[in-house]
């Protein structure tokens, strides 16, 4: 029993036993740690290879997508949407692949690793931004644009097919939302700790979106208004004014010819034509009450004769007066008032080709200006005859412009050029259209702030009572210290007019061109200068010619000076104005001038500013 109990007692370990067991345990521990480290290493290596492989695939997909985006941009810049659907499929395949390759849990975990993590995060966010833009922005437009090209939007035999416009409008609105969201998301990507090449790619994306955002937003505002304006919901009526720059006015010229245009379900027709002589002119009082500040500068003649309604550079003022005149003679409800001049017409005829007239004349891009603004008065020196000629010219030009001839993309460029030069203007009573038009060149208004653009202006009005402005050329310049001395910026504005008529032809000029009030060949012109918003005109001087101060004041927050100039044949006159403005936010300096018969070169300079606009 004793031996049995002895056997059951725990056996004490000897020193030797302890010495032999300890190395064995340590060896096992080391092996466990080694295998663990090896496992971690394998996981890291595999994860690194996994992430690297997926990153290469994503990078390749994004690079292919960039090339396709350039193709899309090229198509859209040329107004070709016909292949957008096919391009979208390949583009979406690449952008979705790039997002998929950067969206698994391994990638997400690696984003938290110091050093490499911020780069992976920025890479993934870039892929997401681009793919969301393609899916939410480009996809609706690609779907709506299937089978649609700019050619399908042009008039054919006087009719515009409204279905493509109605189909594209909601898609463009969706695209605008997507571009805006992508723009914000791209700005939020943190590149403070990313490698240089990735940072530059993110910057490139931001620049691309910043450039694309404004025009897309504008398109989203404008396109939904186009079909209704073209009579999609019923007839719309517009008054078209044709301004004659040879009798110059601030907005262009004497609006002696006009027509009522009806648009009904895309069908465009001229329903009536008028000349200024069809209305009650030389009235004792303005056709409607005038703004006292405007009347102070221009006198009440702007409301007593139709030829003077365009004497201010504010198109809504001219439209209000014209509508008042029109309402006295015609009960047609006007849905808008459009204005253009022969120079703008010449830009359009360059695209469409010539317009043949019943008189035997042919209007071309090369002769439209000279024929309509000068030669016609030699051919038809009697006012009634010239009115008939201009009415026929309007009909002939209208027919060719609505025939569908010419490249529509080039036509659009001609319209944009005309708008930028102030030769094409549009007013609408529709609140939606008015919001879109606000502060644009098409609206024919001056900004009521300097924040987005610091605009100053120089405008001219004929005082000769003639068509002599065909022989007047002008140029203008402006400088400012708005960036070099922003606390008290100073401005200088210079206007030069030249009477370039050849004295030899003066005896041949009909009275309709020279006018009855001045010696033939002499031209009298009011120069009306507008300073910056909130500013002050501190002085003026003249060199050459004859200049007489007439009046000064303020209109809509801008200082205004009116100076009468008189030029004999061959004379020049230069007027120089100095101005100041209070401290504030100033956008790029911009100078606007009257759209005259001939181009008016303008230069602007604002030292210290990044950008200056003409």
Q: What is the pLDDT of residues 33-83, one digit of tens each?
A: 554 444 444 344 333 444 455 556 556 666 666 666 666 655 555 555 666
User: How many other β-carbons are positioned within 10 Å of the β-carbon of residue 19?
Assistant: 10
Residue with tokens 């379900």: 265
Dihedral (C-alpha) 243, 248, 252, 257: value to the nearest 10 degrees? -10
Given a contact cutoff of 8 angstroms between Cβ atoms, the answer to whether 492 and 531 are in contact is no
Pick from 30, 98, 13: which is nearest to 61 by CA?
A: 98
> Which residues, other chains included, contact 287 with Cβ-Cβ below 8 Å and sequence gap of 6+?
280, 303, 304, 321, 324, 325, 328
Mean pLDDT of the residues in the chain: 85
Partner residues linked to 590 by β-bridges: 455
586: phi then psi, degrees, rounded to nearest 5: -125, 125
Given a contact cutoff of 8 angstroms between Cβ atoms, the answer to whether 207 and 307 are in contact is no
Q: Is the pLDDT of residue 13 over 70?
A: no
pLDDT at 611: 54
pLDDT at 88: 75
> Which residues, other chains included, contact 252 with Cβ-Cβ below 8 Å and sequence gap of 6+?
243, 245, 310, 339, 341, 422, 423, 594, 595
pLDDT at 213: 82
Lowest mean pLDDT across 136-145, 231-240, 249-258, 596-605: 136-145
pLDDT for 259-305, tens place per residue? 999 999 999 999 999 999 999 999 999 999 999 999 999 999 999 99
Can you tell me the distance from the alpha carbon of 300 to that of 169, in angstroms, rounded to the nearest whole number?
44
Average pLDDT on 201-227 reads 81
Given a contact cutoff of 8 angstroms between Cβ atoms, the answer to whether 569 and 501 are in contact is yes
pLDDT for 99-153, tens place per residue? 777 777 766 777 787 877 787 788 788 888 888 888 888 888 878 777 666 677 7
- Percentage of the chain beyond pLDDT 70 is 84
Pick from 549, 553, 563: which is nearest to 531 by CA?
A: 553
Pick from 364, 416, 361: which is nearest to 386 by CA?
A: 361
Residue with tokens 């014209």: 322
Pick from 506, 494, 495: which is nearest to 570 by CA?
A: 506
Q: Is the pLDDT of residue 465 over 60?
A: yes
Given a contact cutoff of 8 angstroms between Cβ atoms, the answer to whether 542 and 574 are in contact is yes
> Which residues, other chains included, contact 463 with Cβ-Cβ below 8 Å and sequence gap of 6+?
524, 525, 526, 564
Beta strands in 419-471 (DSSP E): 424-427, 454-462
Can you tell me the distance from the alpha carbon of 231 to that of 501, in angstroms, rounded to the nearest whole number?
46
Can you tell me the distance from the alpha carbon of 607 to that of 614, in angstroms, rounded to the nearest whole number?
14
Q: What is the DSSP string of 476-500?
A: EEEEE-TTTSTTS-EEEEEEEEEE-
Q: Is the pLDDT of residue 341 over 80?
A: yes
pLDDT at 82: 60
User: How many other β-carbons are positioned within 10 Å of the β-carbon of residue 84?
Assistant: 22
Q: Is the pLDDT of residue 12 over 70?
A: no
Can you tell me the distance from the alpha carbon of 190 to that of 125, in angstroms, rounded to the nearest whole number?
9
Helix, strand, coil % (nearest 5) of the chain?
50, 20, 30
Given a contact cutoff of 8 angstroms between Cβ atoms, the answer to whether 245 and 469 are in contact is yes
Average pLDDT on 408-413 reads 84
Buried (b) or exposed (e) across 290-312, using 16+ Cβ within 10 A?
Answer: beeebbbbbbeebbbbbbbbbbb
Helix (H) or strand (E) holding 267: strand 267-275
| Dihedral angle sign, alpha carbons of residues 401, 403, 405, 408 | positive
Helix 15-77 vs helix 117-133: crossing angle, to nearest 10: 30
pLDDT for 514-571, tens place per residue? 999 999 999 999 999 999 999 999 999 999 989 999 999 999 999 999 999 999 999 9
| Largest Cα span, the chain | 157
Pick from 480, 613, 592: which is nearest to 535 by CA?
A: 480
Can you tell me the distance from the alpha carbon of 44 to that of 51, in angstroms, rounded to the nearest whole number?
10
Given a contact cutoff of 8 angstroms between Cβ atoms, the answer to whether 172 and 212 are in contact is no
pLDDT at 558: 98
Residue 404: half-sphere exposure toward Cβ, Cα within 13 Å: 14
- Percentage of the chain beyond pLDDT 90 is 53
Apex 435 CA angle, 433 and 438, nearest 5 = 105
> Which residues, other chains included, contact 609 with Cβ-Cβ below 8 Å and sequence gap of 6+?
482, 483, 588, 589
Residue 151: half-sphere exposure toward Cβ, Cα within 13 Å: 6
Beta strands in 483-596 (DSSP E): 490-499, 523-530, 536-543, 546-555, 558-567, 572-580, 589-593
Beta strands in 37-161 (DSSP E): none
Apex 386 CA angle, 459 and 472, nearest 5 = 30
Pick from 476, 440, 457: which is nearest to 590 by CA?
A: 457
Pick from 558, 535, 538: which is nearest to 489 by CA?
A: 535
pLDDT at 18: 45
pLDDT at 195: 76
Helix (H) or strand (E) holding 556: none
What is the C-alpha radius of gyration for the chain, rounded to an integer number of angstroms?
A: 36
């Amino acid at each position: 029993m004793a031996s049995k109990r002895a056997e059951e007692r725990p056996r004490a370990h000897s020193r030797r036993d302890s010495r032999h067991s300890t190395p064995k345990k340590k060896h096992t521990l080391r092996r466990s740690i080694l295998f663990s480290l090896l496992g971690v290493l394998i996981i890291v290596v595999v994860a690194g290879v996994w992430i690297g492989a997926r990153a290469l695939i994503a990078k390749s997909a994004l690079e292919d997508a960039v090339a396709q985006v350039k193709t899309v941009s090229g198509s859209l810049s040329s107004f070709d949407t016909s292949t957008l659907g096919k391009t979208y499929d390949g583009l979406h395949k690449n952008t979705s692949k790039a997002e998929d390759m950067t969206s698994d849990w391994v990638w997400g975990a690696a984003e938290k690793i110091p050093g490499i993590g911020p780069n992976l995060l920025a890479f993934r966010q870039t892929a997401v931004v681009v793919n969301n833009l393609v899916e939410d922005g480009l996809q609706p437009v690609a779907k709506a644009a299937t089978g649609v090209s700019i050619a399908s939007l042009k008039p054919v035999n006087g009719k515009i097919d409204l279905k493509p416009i109605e189909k594209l409008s909601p898609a463009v609105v969706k695209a605008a939302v997507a571009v805006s969201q992508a723009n914000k998301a791209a700005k939020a990507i943190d590149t403070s700790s990313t490698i240089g090449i990735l940072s530059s790619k993110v910057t490139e994306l931001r620049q691309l979106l910043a450039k694309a955002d404004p025009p897309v937003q504008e398109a989203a505002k404008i396109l939904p208004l186009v079909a209704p304006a073209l009579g999609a919901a019923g007839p719309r009526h517009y008054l078209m004014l044709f301004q004659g720059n040879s009798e110059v006015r601030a907005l262009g010229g004497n609006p002696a010819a006009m027509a009522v245009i009806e648009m009904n379900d895309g069908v465009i027709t001229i329903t009536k034509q008028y000349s200024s002589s069809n209305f009650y002119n030389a009235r004792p009082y303005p056709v409607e009450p005038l703004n006292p500040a405007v009347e102070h500068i221009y006198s009440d003649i702007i409301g007593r004769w139709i030829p003077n309604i365009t004497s201010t550079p504010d198109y809504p003022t001219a439209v209000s007066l014209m509508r008042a005149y029109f309402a006295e003679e015609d009960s047609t409800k006007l849905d808008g008032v459009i204005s253009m001049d022969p120079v703008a017409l010449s830009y359009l005829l360059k695209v469409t080709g010539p317009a043949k007239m019943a008189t035997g004349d042919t209007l071309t891009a090369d002769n439209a200006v000279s024929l309509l603004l000068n030669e016609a008065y030699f051919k038809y020196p009697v006012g009634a005859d010239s009115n008939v000629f201009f009415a026929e010219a309007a009909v002939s030009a209208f027919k060719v412009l609505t025939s569908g001839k010419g490249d529509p993309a080039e036509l659009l460029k001609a319209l944009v050029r005309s708008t930028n030069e102030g030769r094409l203007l549009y007013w609408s009573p529709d609140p939606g259209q008015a919001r879109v038009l606000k502060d644009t060149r098409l609206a024919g208004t001056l900004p009521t702030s300097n924040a987005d653009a610091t605009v100053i202006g120089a405008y001219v009005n004929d005082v000769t009572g003639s068509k002599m402005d065909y022989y007047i050329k002008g140029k203008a310049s402006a400088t400012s210290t708005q960036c070099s001395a922003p606390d008290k910026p100073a401005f200088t504005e210079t206007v030069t007019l030249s009477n370039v008529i050849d004295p030899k032809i003066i005896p041949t000029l009909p009275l309709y061109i020279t006018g009855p009030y001045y010696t033939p060949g002499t031209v009298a012109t009011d120069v009306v200068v507008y300073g910056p918003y909130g500013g002050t005109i501190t002085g003026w001087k003249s060199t050459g010619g004859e200049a007489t101060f007439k009046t000064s004041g303020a209109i809509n927050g801008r200082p205004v000076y009116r100076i009468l100039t008189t030029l004999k044949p061959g004379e020049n006159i230069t007027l120089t104005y100095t101005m100041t403005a209070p401290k504030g936010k100033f956008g790029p300096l911009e100078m606007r001038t009257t759209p005259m018969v001939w181009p008016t070169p303008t230069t602007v300079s604002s030292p210290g500013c990044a950008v200056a606009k003409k």
